[in-house]
Structure formats: structure tokens, C-alpha cells
Structure 1
Amino acid sequence: MKENVQSGSPSGSEPNSKSGRRTGSLKPFIRLIRETNPPKLMLGIALFMSVVTTLVSLVIPLFTKNLVDSFSISSIKPAQIALIIGIFIAQAIAGGVSIYLLNHVGQSVVANLRDRLWKKLLILPVPYFDNNLTGETVSRMTNDTAVVKGLITDNLTNFIGGIISIVGAVTILLFLDWRMTLIMLTAVPLSMLILVPLGRQMHRISKGLQDETARFTGILSQVLSEIRLVKASNAEANEYTSGKKGITNLFQFGLKEARVQAVIGPLISFVLMMLLVVIIGYGGVRVSSGALTAGDLVAFILYLIQIIMPMSQLTMFFTQLQKAIGATERIISTLHSEEEDHASGREFENAFQPMKLEHVTFAYENGETVLEDLNFTVEPGKVTAVVGPSGGGKTTLFSLVERFYKPVSGTIQMGTDPIDAYSLQSWRSQIGYVSQESPLTAGTIRENIIYGTNRTVTQAELEYAANMAYADIFINELPDKYDTEVGERGIKLSGGQRQRISIARALLRDPKILMLDEATSSLDSQSELAVQNALKNLMNGRTTLVIAHRLSTVVDADQIIFIEKGKITGRGTHEELFQTHKMYHEFATQQLRIKEHQFEGAAES
């Protein structure tokens, strides 16, 4: 299920269009950072310390000027030396404190940003995940947020300090010699002519790099999670080719980034070094003419260095800023995706009501109709089985009942109210769902059985659920019993064992509505019989929906709905459909091995 009629918004098409309008814009980035609620006091202290460090560095050339102009052994006083040493120590301490606090702020911003993303991802609807690879989503959580962190922790201090250093140095230099200062300032527009177009190009490169990194992470996640399939299919060479393409694309983006940086760095250095040579040459002439003292020239050169150093840091800041803007566009796209509303609606309390499907039609986006004009009623406390050929839409029907998707048209009602009138949390809390995939999480058997249970589960309850699901038979044979690790996606257990763990989980929830999607498909004959007995106990007094290809599991159902290509072609009990529905009759004769003449005899009678 890779496409969905609703998925246009959740998948990001609308946010992407918004992102397109934001390309290169600083406002969304700043707004996103502000929404993470960074510790303002700590940020203020960090920036204050950075300002102090910068201001101290601006005082040092003036001391140097006085030393040079009045240099003699006798003029050097211990107090002066102590003062200079004290200034250097204070500068180092303030710089260290500023760096630590700013790193703390950066880590806090990224932690809050990841927290928002994680919370958002958990409440995004299923169509979002149908249309976005897991690896790409993981990349948004890790790689893109790391770019934002790097900007704050590594470059923000240099940017603030650099601005103060440049403004302060230029102000002092104007007092020292305004003519030389004006010559120096000619480098500013020249530098901007270089930085602005290259910054725009860096933004485009960064955006492409982040997207390609997300795609590559998606490939890695998909291949490594299905490594057994890869090996069983001898697909190592094909997957290597796919991964190699991603590596090559990342390499090409890296080279593009390197080319821009290779232009920015040397050009800025060239401009600044030429400026330094001109200033030293012109300053030497003015010293020889008596317009400047030697101390003034030394101070001027020191201040020029204090301008040159921040200029390179500002260049790096704007380069990283373009990267961060590109990364946050994708983060913003995810945060703006449509989400599930778990709280709105009434509390779902009375599950002992008929569930009615009235003219329910469903189709995935840009795809053919999966379910068409379904009309039937699931009676409370009874078993309704849904059977039919594979691909007929049976599992999709369950997804509609679970409210993973919404029908294109028609309604699903509980009693007289549509099911979306109830809060999503209370609705799903009343449903016990056992799917044919039997999904497990990495962890212990205990953790998987109690998964999603928001209460303390006693050992007796745990063992009872396992016993009812006939899972205790194999659990008690394991060395660590309920504390046995199941591995990623339960890979250390057999298919039948995983199925019984899933059934035990459903039993523990004590749901009012049961949904069993091929719940016994992975069991051998003996286990299937045992679990069917357990399920019969569980179904007693509960509304139950069952999907089964194996008709032996549904012959006793109160109602059987036969679905072909998304349409209902038959309904009734096993005996009724066996006599009146041709395809059901074929299914039954093949699976239950009922002889043809039995059907004919029944038809004649």
C-alpha cells in the first residue's frame, strides 16, 4: 500500500510546495528555532560572554600601541604585565564559558526539535508512511537536525563575536586613521559580490545533499532490515548497484559543495591578503611622513587581523546557514503534515451495537478502486468472516475499521453514529487486532505481550494470556522464558510462535471488538486447532471480524461475506454460500476436500 487517496497532504506534496515558496528564506528557520523554546537566559549569558571576549580582544591592540610608542625597559611595569596577563586569562575563561553554554543551547534546541519530530511522527496517519520511506524519515530526525545543531554550536558564537569584532575594530580604526579605514572598507562590497551568489548556490546544493542523504538512508534501512530476503534471492549484486548509485550521488554533491568552498575560501583570503599588503604599504608611507606613529600602524594591523579572522568565520557561518535552511525546509514539511487527532470526539463505551457499512468505497491515490459500495452489518457478539481471493481488499477493509484510512464515500457506523464521532484513542482501545504479519518489536516476549497496555500487568495475567493463546507451551521451554529476547521484528521466533505472541497480546487487551486477519495462517495443524479453541473462548460475547483464506477457520461463523475485486458477491452462512456461490463452493471443495457429488446432492435436495 504505497499510495492513498488522502496521502497528498500527509506525504508532503502541499508542504513541499510551501517549502518551494520558502526556498532560501531565513524567516521559517528562525521561527522553527524559536518554536523549540531555547533557554533564553543561558543563550543570553553565552552571547554576553562572547561579547565580553570580543571587547577584551579589541582593547589589546590599544595596549600594544602604547607599548610600541613608549617602549623601553624602564617603562614596563609589573602592574601592566599583570593586567595584560589578567586580560588574557579573563578572555580565555569567558570564551570557554561562552562555548560551553552555546553548545548547551544548541543541544537543547536539537533535542526539542527531535522531540517535536518524534511526537509528530507517532501521530501522523498511515498514508504518510505509505508514501515516505522509513530511512528517509530517520534521516530527517538525525542528519537534518544535526545540521541545525552544528550551526548553533559551532558557528553562532563566531558570527556574533565576528560582527562585534568587525564593528568595534572599524570604529576604533576610524579614530586612528579614517583614510586607511576607508581603503580597507572597499573589501566589503567586493566580498559581498562573491558571497551572495555562492551562498545561493550552496543552498541549492545543501538541499539536494540532504534529500540524497535521506534517500540513501532509506535504501540502507530497507536492505538491512530485509537482509535475509536479499541473501535468499541472491540479490547482493543488485542491492550493491542501488547503494553504489546513492554513494556516487552523495559523492557528486560533496564535490559540488567542495567546489563552492574552494572558491569562497581562497577568494576571500586573496581579497583580505591584498588588503593587508595595501594597508601595510600605505601605512608605512604614512609612518615615514609622521602622520602615524609606529604604534598606530601596529595597532592598525592588529585590528585588521581582527577583521580578517571574523570575515572568514562569517563566510563559514553563511555557508552553514544555507545548509541549515535547506535541512529545516524538510523538517518543517514533516511538522506541517496532516496528523491524526486522537482526542477529539466522544468516548467510545458501548461496543455491543451493530457495526454497519453503508455504501463504503475506497481507493488509493492515483489508483483503481479497492473497495466499491460495500453494504453489510456486523452483528454484536457474533462472528462475521470476510473471505475471497487475494487482493480483493479484505485487509484494506480492516484498515478502514481501524481508521487507518477514511472511505472515499460512504460511512461506517457503530449503532447510529459514524465511528469517527468517537475519539480515535478510545475507539482503538476497544479493538484487538491480530494481523497476518504478526509484528513484534525488538525486546522480550514479556514486553511484546504487554505492548500498548497502559496499566500494570501481573505475572498471573501474563501467563493466563499466554496459556489461552497456547504460547506458554514454547515459552516455558525457552531458557529465559518470558524474558527471552525475540530479536529485531521477532526474527528469533518462528512464524507460528510470533502469531501466538500476537494472539496473547490481543487476549491481554480484553477488547470488545476482535479483528483477526489470518490469525492462524502460520500455525501447523495441531497448533491451529489449539489456537482456534482459544479464539473461540475469546470470541464469546464479543463482536468479531475474521479474514481467512483457509475456510476451515470460518465454517462456524455467523455470517460470511465473500469479496471479489472489492465487491461483495455473496453473503450468508457456510452452508448457504456452499450451495449458492460458485467460487465459494470451489474454495470449499479444494480446501475442505468435499467431493463434488456432495454439492450436487445438496443442490438436488
Structure 2
Amino acid sequence: MSTTPQPTSIQGTEPSVIPAAPKGNWRSFLALIRQTNPPIPMLITALIMSIASTGVGLIIPLFTKNLVDGFSLDSLSFGQIALIAATFIIQTVASGLSIYLLNRIGQQVVAKLRDRLWRKLLDLPIPYYDKHRTGETISRLTNDTGVVKSLIAEHMTNFFTGIIAVIGSVVVLLYLDWQMTAVMLGVIPLAALFLVPLGRQMFHISKGLQEETASFTTLLTQVLSEIRLVKASNAESREYDSGKQAINSLFRFGLKEAKVQAMIAPLMFLVMMLLLVVIVGYGGMRVSSGALTAGELVAFILYLIQIVMPMGQITTFFTQFQKAIGATERIIDILDEKEEPQAGGVEVEQAQLPLAAHNLSFAYPSGEPILKQLSFRVEPGTVTAVVGPSGSGKTTLFSLFERFYTPTSGQITLGNRDIQDYSLHSWRSQFGYVSQESPLIAGTIRDNICYGMSREVTDEELRRAAEMAYADIFIRELPNGYLTEVGERGIKLSGGQRQRIAIARALLRNPRILMLDEATSSLDSKSEVVVQQALQNLMQGRTTLVIAHRLSTVVDADQILFVEKGVLTGAGTHEELLQTHKLYREFATQQLRLQEPGAFLGEDSLRDGAQADAGAAAGVSAP
């Protein structure tokens, strides 16, 4: 089966494949926005309202012109006053509707963009997260989309209304006096001569600023998520210095941005003042010569204001647009990443089949091989222990079984079928995984035990899973029972309590294949005994793979695989390896704490040692 990722469709959006377009320009930005399917009828309505509002606004200077040229109290009538009042009311209502609709469109576009990005991040494979820091990824979803939101929801409204106002004003001015209009338009190329290079400079500054913001977010995520380690290591000063460097870097980019903006604003003011001086001076000459009336000059100045005000908004839009292009480039980088193959594949109908590795090898893209030509077979319903020195590739092997990574060569089969042929969701639903860390989510104990379940879990099922995991013992003692909040990453619970909740979660899933990754290595002796009892309940009737340094698990395993530097150097029962594998015997003596002066210990002696360890942990003297 091909492992090419399938496009992910999200309600209301196109598939998450960006059409080929150069990154970092306006085409890629527009392509990204189009894929969010903005509501065209609403956009047209908003534009019509903008045109109506601006059109009405363009009439007001003409009223002013007539008032100035023929003003007298006798000339004012109730009809004229009512017409002016109606004009202002229509302009206000149309402008308000336009602003609301354009903001609504902007919010919808960005919400869909964030929805696509969030779905994409959940569908990306583990290797992506190996290469990218979590803080940077969070920054893409929050800060970069925030830049796009600011452009669409805030600045685009002013841009559309500003463009309409400028075009409408110029048209009316050409009608009033084309000569003065030509003089006014002659100043615009002078402004563009300065503003275009500044816009390009703003793009590069904004891109660097967003990169630094992502790095700062990464630092915050890393430090605050491990604040206990920071304090226990007296590393506050070190982390403060790291944070201060990031803050100073952001400050420097902020100053660069401020310098460019400080040049743009005065230049715009200079251009506008120059326009005003030219218009007033040249217009005054034409009024004195009789070529222009005083009312027309006043109207001209009012129209000039309607050009000047939007020009500042249009300039701000283009500055923000440069920022949005930089943000779009990084968003597209994520959307272009290959996803896990969510679609396709066959369902796992029978998981109680032999699980086998055939010449299995794996290496990270830029590293040395982790696993080299591993071949072994795990019979259904048996326990296989994977042991060996730290860094030999044991946890990586588990990741290959869960299809977090794809083998560099070789394959893993269930029965006679390559596991890559199975639907990813169906395959992973066969697994229960209990790790050394026992990760928990912020929420209640019930939330954590039921995490990932696609159906409603009854209270009876929940209690039964907790009882089999020996978690009900401490849960009943908590004031809120199963509704007790565990804190961020389960920090309010002990290691043994977190392990038992993880085991209860695995029991509730009722997996056919169980993987235990040093599930008791970080526990005290008393907690270990309880967790071991829970694990025995969990392992019954299931194909079990264990990474363990604990004596009882290794001794009782149906098969032991000894892995050294990614190579399988021994396979067999505990007795067989003690006789045939020198390093395993040394491993058993040191890490399994066998009281062996150098002579071989038989199975009875080893089991007695295991019982003595368990008895001591429970406070009972060994017989």
C-alpha cells in the first residue's frame, strides 16, 4: 500500500494542498485565503455597502459647495436639511454594515485557517515534531494566524473603503477641475518613490520579528513546562539570561520596525501637507481669477481630505500585508508537510496473530542507524521482554510497532500481512501503551482514564477498569473521587498513582497488543508491587511486549530479546540466555540485582529473589 499522505478535508474548506505558488508573495497569500472559501455573497454585500457609504460621502462636499456659493438663511429649506440629515444617516448605517460584514468575513477566514492548521498539526507524523520545537509550532498557530487575522478583520476594511473613497474623490475632482486634479496627482509618484522601498524593508523586518517571536515562545514553553526542574536546579538566573536575550532581540526588531514606521508616517504627512499647500495656493489663484468659485475650492479641499485620510489607512494596510505574507510563508510550510496516511488501508479483523519483524532496520534522516536487521517473532498471547543497555533502540522498536516511524528497510507483519497495509486508526486501536512517564492531561481522573475513547463510558466500566488497575484504592480516598482534578501533566498525583491511571486507561481500551515501556522503573518499592499486580491483570490474554529492567517481568517472559546497539544478539527464555549470553548474564547480575557471586543461578533461585524483592517492598520478611 502506498504511504503517500492523503489530503485532509475539513468541513467548509478545500483539501489541505496548497496550489503551486512561490512562497513569500501575494499570490501565495491569496491562494491560502481562497482555500478557506470566504463567503462571496457576504463579501459582495459588504463591498456594495462600502461603495454606498463612500458614494454618499462623496455627495456631501457637493452640498457644501452649493451652500458656500449660494448661502443665505432664506435659501435653507426643511427639505434641504432633511436631505442632508438623511445622507448622513445612510452613510453611517451603510458604513457600519460594511465594517461589520468585512470583519465577520475576516474572522471566518482566520477561524477556518486555524481549523485547517490545527487539524494538520494533529495529522502530522512524529518525525515532524522531532525536527521542530513545540514553541515554534505553537507560534505558527497563534501569532502567525493572528497577523493574518489582523490584516483581514481590521486593515482590509479600511483598505477597501479607502480605495473606493480615493477613486471616487479623484473622479469627482476631475469633473470639478481637471487641472488642479492633475497637479495634485503629480505628487503621488513622489510619495511612492519613498514608500515602496520602505515597504520591502518592512517585509524583511517583520519576517525576522516573527522568527524571534517563535523562538521566544519556544523558550517560554520549555522553561515554564519544566519550572520545577528549573527551581530544583537553581537555574532561575540562567533561564532569566536566556529570556532576557530573547526579549532584547525582540526589542531590537521592534526598534527596526519603529524606525521604518517613523519614516513612513512623517513622509505621508509631508506629502499630504504639500498637497494641501499646493491646492490652497493654486486654488486661491484660480478663485481670484474667476476660474473657480469659492464653493468649488472648499469642495476640492474636502475631497482632498477624503483622499488624505484613506491614504494613511492604505499605507498601513500594505505594511500589515507585508507582515501577513511573511506569516503565510510559514503557515504554508506546515500545510505542505506530509501527513500520516489517515485514509486507506484495511481494518484489523484479527489481532491475535503472530507479530514478527523481518530484517528490520531504522535510522533517522541525519543520524546513525538505530536498529540493524532485527528479525524475531512474537506469538499471540505471549509475553516478550526486550532488554539491553540504554540507547540500544528498545523504545525506537516500540515506536515502529505503533507506526510512529516507517522502517528504513525490512518490515513488521501481523500474520502474513505488512502492518503498513492496515488503516492507521484501526492498527493503533489494537494497542495499549503504558510508558515510564505515564503522561496525563489536565482534567479529572475520569477524563484521563476515558481519554481517547470514541464512545460513552459508563460508571460501572470506569470503576471496573480502576479496580483492575488498583487505582480505585486511592481514588476513593480523594474528596471528589473520579472528578478530582489532576493538574497540568498530572502533577497533583504521585508517580505510582499516575501509572495506575495509565494502566486503567489501557484496560478500558481493551487492547489486543500491549506495550510496557519500563512502566515501573521510576517507582518506589511499595508502589512498584501494586503497579506490578495491576500490570498482571492488564497482561492477561494479550500479546505483550515489555521493556523492563525488573526481575519478575523478565523471568516470567515467554521470550527475551537482547538488543545491543540496535543489533539482536540473543533471543530465548531467561534460562537459555543465562546459559548462552554472557552480556545478558552480566545484565541480569547488575540491573536485575541478582545475588550471584559469579556462578549461574537456576530459575528457582531467581524466583525466590523476585519474591524476596516483592516481600521486602510490601514490608514482609522473606521466608
- Shorter-normalised TM-score: what interval? over 0.9
**Pairing 1:530-549 to 2, within 5 Å after superposition:** 530-549=530-549
Give 1:601 deviation, angstroms.
Answer: 8.7
1:593 aligned partner: 594
Q: Give the Cα–Cα distance (whole angstroms) in 2 for the partners of residues 421 and 547 of structure 1.
A: 26
Aligned alpha-carbon RMSD (Å): 1.8
Cα distance in structure 1, aligned partners of 2:375 and 2:252: 55
Q: Provide the rounded CA distance (Å) in 1 between the counterparts of 2:297 and 2:378.
A: 93
* Amino acid across the alignment from 1:572: G
CA apart distance, 1:342: 2.1
SS in 2 for 1:549: coil
Counterpart contact for 1:356–1:414, Cα < 8 Å: yes
Contact map agreement 1:552 1:592 (CA 8 A) in 2:
no
> Quick check: 1:162–1:313 contact (8 Å CA) kept in 2?
yes
Whole-angstrom distance in 1 between the partners of 2:391 and 2:548: 13
Distance in 2 (alpha carbons) for counterparts of 1:313 and 1:202: 16
**Contact 1:358–1:374 (CA<8 Å) still a contact in 2?**
yes
Q: Is the 8 A contact 2:500 2:534 kept in 1?
A: no
Does residue 1:550 correspond to 2:559, yes or no? no
How many angstroms does 1:540 deviate by? 2.6
1:528, CA displacement in angstroms? 2.7
Tell me by how many angstroms 1:408 deviates. Answer: 0.9
Counterparts of residues 508-519 of structure 1 (less than 5 Å): 508-519=508-519
Query: Residue by residue, what CA displacement relative to the aligned partner does 1:195-233 show, whole Å, maximum 9, x if unpaired?
Result: 211111111111111111111111101100000000011
* Range 91-100 or range 287-296, more displaced: 91-100
Contact map agreement 2:272 2:308 (CA 8 A) in 1 = yes
CA deviations on 1:299-329 (whole Å, 9 max, x unpaired) are 1111111111111111111011111111111
* Matched position secondary structure for 2:556: coil
Matched-pair contact (CA < 8 Å) for 2:107–2:149: yes
Letter in 2 for 1:481: G
Whether 2:206 is the aligned partner of 1:178: answer no
CA distance in 1, matches of 2:157, 2:602: 90
Query: Per the alignment, do residues 29 and 168 of structure 1 end up closer, same or farther by CA in structure 2, a change over 3 Å counting?
Result: same
2 CA distance for matches of 1:601 and 1:561? 19
Aligned to 2:279: 279
1:106 Cα shift? 1.4
Shift of 1:470: 1.0
Aligned to 2:218: 218
Q: How far 1:64 moved relative to its partner?
A: 0.7
- In the alignment, which residue of structure 2 is the partner of 1:506? 506
1:401 match: 401
Q: Which amino acid aligns with 1:286?
A: R
SS state at 1:511 partner:
coil
The aligned counterpart of 1:129 is: 129
Identify the residue that residue 618 of structure 2 maps to in structure 1.
none
Counterpart of 1:449? Answer: 449
Deviations 1:346-385 (A, max 9, x none): 0011111111111111111221111111111111111111
2:21 and 2:27 in contact (8 A); partners too: no
The aligned residue for residue 309 of structure 1 is: 309
User: What is residue 567 of structure 1 aligned with on the other side?
Assistant: 567
Quote the Cα distance in structure 1 between the aligned partners of 2:489 and 2:86: 61
Distance 2:431 2:175 in 1: 78
Q: Counterparts of 1:288 and 1:551 in 2: how far apart (Å)? A: 107
What is the correspondence of 1:444-523 to structure 2 with a 5 Å cutoff?
A: 444-523=444-523
* One-letter amino acid matched to 2:143: N
* SS of residue in 1 equivalent to 2:555: coil
C-alpha distance in 2 between matches for 1:350 and 1:459: 29
1:373 is matched with which residue?
373
1:332 and 1:366 map into 2 onto residues whose CA distance is 24
Tell me, yes or no, if the aligned pair for 1:24 and 1:203 is still in contact at 8 Å: no
Q: Is the 8 A contact 1:19 1:329 kept in 2?
A: no
TM-score by length of 1: 0.94
CA distance in 2, matches of 1:529, 1:137: 40
Q: Higher relative contact order at CA 8 Å, sep ≥6: structure 1 or structure 2?
A: 1
Structure-1 residue corresponding to 2:92: 92
Instruction: Report the AA paired with residue 596 of structure 2.
Output: K
User: 1: CA distance between counterparts of 2:371 and 2:75?
Assistant: 96
Q: How does 1:235-246 map to 2 (within 5 A)?
A: 235-246=235-246
| Match status 1:118 vs 2:118 | yes
Aligned AA (2:230): V
Aligned-residue offset at 1:21: 8.1
Q: Aligned partner of 1:131: which letter?
A: K
Q: Measure the CA separation in 2 of the matches of 1:161 and 1:21.
A: 29
TM superposition shift of 1:535: 2.6
The equivalent residue for 1:319 is: 319
Segments of 4+ moved more than 6 angstroms = 18-21
Q: Bigger shift: 545-554 or 53-62? A: 545-554
Name the CA distance, whole Å, in 2 between partners of 1:21 and 1:78. 59
Query: Aligned to 1:313, what secondary structure does the other structure show?
Result: helix
The 2-side partners of 1:460 and 1:173 are apart by: 80
> What are the within-5 Å matches in structure 2 for residues 418-437 of structure 1?
418-437=418-437
| Partner Cα separation in structure 2 for residue 19 and residue 40 of structure 1 | 20
Structure 2: 5+ residue runs without aligned partners? 5-17, 604-623
Q: Distance in 2 between matches of 1:206 and 1:295?
A: 46
Paired residue secondary structure (2:583)? helix
Which one-letter code corresponds to 1:596 in the other structure? P
Contact 2:469 2:537 in 1 (8 A): no
Report the alpha carbon displacement of residue 555 of structure 1 after superposing the two structures with TM.
0.8
- Deviation at 1:179? 1.0
Q: Secondary structure at the match of 1:443?
A: coil
Amino acid at match of 2:44: G
Deviation at 1:537, TM superposition (A): 3.3
Corresponding residue for residue 167 of structure 2:
167
What SS does structure 2 have at the residue aligned with 1:244?
Answer: helix
Q: Give the deviation of 1:488 after TM superposition.
A: 0.3
C-alpha distance in 2, partners of 1:508/1:524? 25
Q: Tell me whether 1:352 sits opposite 2:347 in the alignment.
A: no
Distance 2:484 2:546 in 1: 30
How far apart, CA to CA, are the structure 2 residues paired with 1:25 and 1:223?
Answer: 35
Q: Which moved more, 1:575-584 or 1:275-284?
A: 575-584
The match for 2:61 is: 61
Q: Tell me the distance in 2 between the aligned counterparts of 1:534 and 1:171.
A: 82
Change (3 A) 1:117 1:600: closer
Separation (CA, whole Å) in 2 of partners of 1:19 and 1:241: 43
Percentage of pairs with the same residue: 67
Deviation of residue 124 (structure 1)?
A: 0.5
Residues 390-434 of structure 1, C-alpha deviations (whole Å, 9 max, x = no match): 111100100000000011111111111110000000000011111
Retained in 2: the 8 A contact 1:47–1:157? no
Aligned to 2:339: 339
Indicate conservation of the 8 Å contact 2:391/2:565, yes or no: yes
Structure 1: gaps of 5 or more residues: 1-5, 7-17
Q: CA deviation at 1:340?
A: 0.7
Structure 2 CA distance for aligned equivalents of residues 224 and 348 of structure 1: 41
Partners of 2:23 and 2:457 lie apart in 1 by 51
- Give the Cα separation in 2 of the matches to 1:494 and 1:597: 38
When structure 1 is superposed on structure 2, of 421-430 and 103-112 the one drifting more is 103-112
Report deviation, 1:529: 3.1
Q: What's the CA shift for 1:463? A: 1.0
Q: Distance in 1 between matches of 2:150 and 2:111?
A: 13
Distance 1:173 1:211, change over 3 A: same
What displacement does 1:539 show? 2.1
Q: For residues 27 and 373 of structure 2, what CA distance do their matches in structure 1 show? A: 48
**What residue is the counterpart of 1:10 in the other structure?**
none
The 3-state SS of whatever aligns with 1:404 is coil
Q: Which residue of 1 aligns with 2:35?
A: 35
**CA 1:115–1:600 in structure 2 vs 1: closer, same or farther (change >3 Å)?**
closer
CA–CA separation in structure 2 for the residues paired with 1:55 and 1:176: 16
SS of match in other structure, 1:555: helix
Per the TM alignment, residue 161 of structure 1 is displaced from its structure 2 partner at its CA by 1.3
The amino acid that maps onto 1:199 is G
d(CA) in 2 for partners of 1:589, 1:175:
100
1:191: which partner in 2?
191
Residue of structure 1 in register with 2:8 after alignment: none
TM-score w.r.t. structure 2 length? 0.91
